[in-house]
Amino acid sequence: MNISRRTLLGSSLLLGASAGLSACGGSKPSPDSPSTPDGGVFPPGKMIMYGYGQPQWLLEYYNPWLERHQDIAKGVTIDMVQNEGEAQARQKLIQAMSAQDYASAADVIQTSRVSLLDMAKNDILVDFTDYLSGIEDKLVPGALSDSAYDGKLYGLPDSVRPQLLFYNQDILDTYGIDAESLSTMDGYLEAGRKLKTDSKGAVQLSQIDPTTLAWRYWGRRGLLPQAGAQIWGDDGSVVFGDSEGTRKALGYLGTLQSEGHLFVTKMFQAPLYDAIKAGKIATFYIGAFFDEFLRGNVADMAGKWRAQPAPVFEDVGTAGAPVIGLFCAVKKPEGQYSALWQQLWNDFQFDAEARQTWTTKMVEENAPYANPIALDLLKDPFWKEPSDFYGGQSFRETEALGLQNSSANLRVTKDDAEADALISPELEKFIAGDQSIDDAIKNAHEALKSRISTTDPK
Partner 1 sequence: MLSFARRHGAGYLFIVPFFALFLVFQLFPILWTFYISTQEWSGLGEPESVGLKNFRLLLTDPQFWDATANTLIYWVCGLVFILPLAMGISLLLNKRDLHGLRTFKTLTFLPYVCATVAIGLIFNIMFDTQQGLVNEVLGLVGLDQVGWLTTTTWSKVPVIVLNVWRHTPWFALILLGGLLNIPRDYYEAAKVDGAGAARTFWHITLPSLRPVLMFCMIMITVESWNIFAEPFIMRGPGTSNVSLFQYMYESSFRLFKYGYGAAIGVALTLILALVSIIQLFLMRKDADA
The residue ranges that bind partner 1 (CB under 8 A) are 1-2, 4-5, 7-13, 16, 87-88, 90-91, 94, 97-98, 115, 118-119, 121-122, 124, 210-212, 263-266, 269-271, 274-275, 280, 417-418, 421, 424-426, 428-429, 431-434, 447, 450-451
Measured CA to CA, the distance from residue 376 to residue 302 in angstroms comes to: 30
Could you list the beta-strand ranges (E) of 130-214.
Answer: 148-149, 152-153, 155-161, 163-168, 206-208
Smallest separation, CB 19 to partner 1 (Å): 9
Nearest to 218 by CA among 186, 250, 190: 250
Smallest separation, CB 95 to partner 1 (Å): 8
Helix (H) or strand (E) holding 284: strand 283-287
Of the two residues 74 and 451, which places its CB atom closer to partner 1 in the complex?
451
For residue 243, what are the contacts with CB-CB under 8 A and spacing of at least 6?
229, 230, 231
Of the two residues 16 and 386, which places its CB atom closer to partner 1 in the complex?
16
Smallest separation, CB 281 to partner 1 (Å): 10
Of the two residues 174 and 211, which places its CB atom closer to partner 1 in the complex?
211
Smallest separation, CB 451 to partner 1 (Å): 7
Of the two residues 94 and 370, which places its CB atom closer to partner 1 in the complex?
94
Smallest separation, CB 168 to partner 1 (Å): 17
Residue 210 near residue 428 (C-beta atoms within 8 A): yes
**Count of CA atoms in the C-beta half-sphere (13 A) of 117:** 15
Of the two residues 15 and 363, which places its CB atom closer to partner 1 in the complex?
15
Of the two residues 4 and 300, which places its CB atom closer to partner 1 in the complex?
4
Smallest separation, CB 274 to partner 1 (Å): 5
- Report the chain's C-alpha Rg in angstroms: 23
Of the two residues 149 and 383, which places its CB atom closer to partner 1 in the complex?
149
Smallest separation, CB 7 to partner 1 (Å): 7
237-242's contacts with Cβ under 8 Å and 24+ in sequence apart are 237/453, 237/454, 238/445, 238/448, 238/449, 238/452, 238/453, 238/454, 240/423, 240/441, 240/444, 240/445, 240/448, 241/441, 241/442, 241/444, 241/445, 241/446, 242/445
Residue type at position 398: T
Q: CA of 12: how far to CAs of 5, 9, 439, in Å?
A: 11, 5, 40
Residue 259 near residue 192 (C-beta atoms within 8 A): yes
Smallest separation, CB 81 to partner 1 (Å): 16
Question: How far, rounded to the nearest angstrom, does the alpha carbon of residue 101 sit from its chain's CA centroid?
Answer: 29
DSSP states of 310-365? PPB-TTT--BPPPEEEEEEEB--TT---HHHHHHHHHHHHH-HHHHHHHHHHHHHT
Start-to-end CA distance of the chain, whole Å, equals: 40
For residue 197, what are the contacts with CB-CB under 8 A and spacing of at least 6?
none
Of the two residues 331 and 396, which places its CB atom closer to partner 1 in the complex?
331
Of the two residues 58 and 419, which places its CB atom closer to partner 1 in the complex?
419
Instruction: Provide the total of helices (H) and of strands (E) in the chain, helices listed first.
Output: 19, 12
Of the two residues 264 and 363, which places its CB atom closer to partner 1 in the complex?
264
Dihedral class, residue 394 (left if φ above 0, else alpha if ψ from -120 to 50, else beta): beta
Smallest separation, CB 75 to partner 1 (Å): 32
Smallest separation, CB 330 to partner 1 (Å): 12
Of the two residues 376 and 434, which places its CB atom closer to partner 1 in the complex?
434
Smallest separation, CB 207 to partner 1 (Å): 10
Measured CA to CA, the distance from residue 70 to residue 342 in angstroms comes to: 16
Q: CA of 197: how far to CAs of 172, 193, 260, 398, in Å?
A: 14, 6, 11, 30
